[in-house]
Structure 1
Amino acid sequence: MREIVFDTETTGLDPKSGDRMVEIGCIELINRMPTGETYHSYYNPERDMPSGAEAVHGLSAAFLSDKPMFGSKADGLLEFLQDSPLVAHNASFDFGFLNNELTLCGRDIVSMDRMVDTVALARKRHPGAKLSLDALCTRYGIDRSHRVKHGALLDAELLAQVYLELLGGRQIGLSLAADAGASAPNGDGRIAAAGAVRKPMGERREPRPHVASPSELERHAEFVGQIENALWRS
């Protein structure tokens, strides 16, 4: 089963009032485990950046001024999302901004039937508890020390870990399937290039043998023979 955990950064809280999406970060899960494949992009919102929003994510109008418009990168994003379920924290917010951008560039919106809201999952599992991403990371012992400001890809990586914990922990993804060779994301935070799809790095190594050699067995027997009053001799 393929799922996408994603997060967005925006100019504000309401796309209906003219706020725009300025960043998206996506993490691919297969059978509830990260594969290492991600999608990340910044977007030029074609408007100013309110100081309150910039204080949250640190993305200024000057930084975003040379970034692509959402419409020019929509095909790459949709290709990555495919028809997979989309996991987000307070997902109606992120869906609202994503669908607003798709509408503005004349694309079909993403069906809300694909939405998986981790806030709703957390509320059922921990009623009455704090449900922010920070609070859930603290609850599950997930390191967020590198999260100085909000960032879409970084927050998606943290949320992917929280999502697995909400579903019962990482052991739910253990499998003997022949294709269970996916690696976890490297967690290096933001990617400078817009529209980048990152694949796992390095080659998969064969398991090393762990059988003692005849000379090692001989030395072990010699060492054990020197032990006085050994329990196994009584």
Structure 2
Amino acid sequence: MTERQIVLDTETTGMPAADGHRLVEIGAVEMIERRVTGKTFHCYLNPERLVDEGAFNVHGLSDAFLADKPKFADVVDEFLAFIAGAELIIHNAEFDVGFLDAELARLANGGRLADVAGSVTDSLAIARKKHPGQRNSLDALCRRYSIDNSARTLHGALLDSEILADVYLALTGGQKTLGFDSEHGQGDEHKQAASIIRLPADRPPLRVITANEEERAAHAAWLVTLGKEGEPAPWPA
């Protein structure tokens, strides 16, 4: 079965959702078999309320900018179709899921995100388990894994989803996203496959060079230095 994941992020008027704060932006990036496909979902939303000053300082989305944007009810069908059945990857998932569930609850047919998505994975929880006691914000993880986030002067749902895709892949196996070659219409995976050199099956066997007595003795002495005093070496010589 094809593994489909959606990396998702939102921006809001403030917090918490329980106080009536609303979504102002949704961004999502599709990955299939741990490769970014180029398919995205992105929209700004009219929250039908004012944006808190603190939230504006984070994302820069003003009341004037959002005034003519669609309401959540106008985009919900397209959004749910995009995420349907997929594993959602969200950094601090409780926050975003809480806001999305609150938006869905306002609709006539109600519903919850869990009714549509296949599952939700919190990349912040993964990072905290892998790097306990360290900073695990998106910016901190970008620094730790040498991921370029220089375009992130303000938070933005789509940009943050694109960055999180790289961070998630680094957190869960080190693979970076494989983009597509726009000139030739082929992805990096095709280039990598083309560069593999296959050795002939009837090739001569490789020559095996064994260590001599002096080299084996030196190796055994070195292994002894790795053990604690009074304990055997951690590996047999």
TM-score in terms of structure 2 length: 0.73
Q: Give the aligned residue type for 1:14.
A: P
Query: In the TM superposition, what is the alpha-carbon distance from 1:125 to its structure 2 partner?
Result: 0.8
Change beyond 3 A, Cα 1:15–1:202: farther
Query: In the TM superposition, what is the alpha-carbon distance from 1:204 to its structure 2 partner?
Result: 1.8
Number of the residue aligned with 1:108? 111
For 2:105 and 2:184, how far apart are their aligned partners in 1?
Answer: 41
For 2:59 and 2:43, how far apart are their aligned partners in 1?
Answer: 14
Higher-Rg structure is 2
For structure 2, the 5+ residue unaligned runs are 196-237
For structure 1, the 5+ residue unaligned runs are 174-182, 186-199, 211-234
* Identical residues among aligned pairs (%): 49
For 1:128 and 1:44, how far apart are their aligned partners in 2?
Answer: 38
Which structure ranks higher in relative contact order (CA pairs < 8 Å, sequence separation ≥ 6)?
Answer: 1
Residue from 155, 159, 162 that aligns with 1:157: 162
Q: Give the aligned residue type for 1:162.
A: V
Runs of 4+ in 1 over 6 A off after TM superposition: none
For 1:56 and 1:26, how far apart are their aligned partners in 2?
Answer: 19
TM-score in terms of structure 1 length: 0.74
Q: Counterpart of 2:113 in 1: which secondary structure?
A: coil
For 2:182 and 2:71, how far apart are their aligned partners in 1?
Answer: 29
Q: How many residues align?
A: 185
Q: Counterpart of 2:42 in 1: which secondary structure?
A: strand
Query: In the TM superposition, what is the alpha-carbon distance from 1:201 to its structure 2 partner?
Result: 5.8
Query: In the TM superposition, what is the alpha-carbon distance from 1:2 to its structure 2 partner?
Result: 0.1
Q: Give the aligned residue type for 2:165.
A: A
Query: In the TM superposition, what is the alpha-carbon distance from 1:157 to its structure 2 partner?
Result: 0.5
Number of the residue aligned with 1:5? 7
Number of the residue aligned with 1:68? 70
Q: Give the aligned residue type for 1:98.
A: L
CA shift digits 1:7-47 (9 cap, x unpaired) = 00001121110100000100001111111111000000000
Residue from 123, 145, 148 that aligns with 2:150: 145
Q: CA RMSD in A?
A: 2.2
Number of the residue aligned with 2:185? 204
Q: Give the aligned residue type for 1:73.
A: V
For 1:98 and 1:202, how far apart are their aligned partners in 2?
Answer: 38
Number of the residue aligned with 1:170? 175
Counterpart contact for 2:88–2:118, Cα < 8 Å: no
